[in-house]
Amino acid sequence: MKQTLLVIGGGLNVLFGLLHIWLGWEFHRATHLSPDDRALMEMLNVCAILLILFFAYASFFCRKELLSTALGKAVLVLILLMCLSRAVEEVILSPTFSVVIFATCLLVAGVYLAAALWKGDSETWS
């Protein structure tokens, strides 16, 4: 079950990565931003893309390590905290609250929380 949750989380992170790639294109084309603001948005977005795609990679290809090592568990907590903080930011910082973004971030956080806390021992590692 833990591995299934990680694959689901990895798939959701791939979708987030694709969304951020599209956002990067939109930032690049934005004419209402100053050049400095646009550059900053693009730089932060590239870092977000790399981090999110790392989460997807780890969820797909490093499942055993994520669930069995201290570093892996720390990465699970990082993913969880990043998604929770993004949900809170949507409520507090966004001028236009999006239920879709809020709920999706909570869903991903829940998937990784369940994977981190699942106590089932019947899993086999491939």
Give pLDDT, residue 120. 67
Confidence of residue 119 (pLDDT cuts 50, 70, 90): confident
pTM, entire model:
0.86
Radius of gyration of the chain (CA): 16
Above 90 in pLDDT, residue 99? yes
The gap from C-alpha 74 to its chain's centroid, in whole angstroms, comes to 14
Euclidean distance between CA atoms 27 and 33, whole angstroms: 8
Give pLDDT, residue 125. 40
Euclidean distance between CA atoms 119 and 71, whole angstroms: 19
Give pLDDT, residue 110. 96
Instruction: Give the single-character DSSP code of 95.
Output: S
Above 80 in pLDDT, residue 80? yes
Give pLDDT, residue 45. 95
What residues does each domain of the chain span?
A: 2-117
Q: What rounded mean pLDDT belongs to the chain?
A: 92
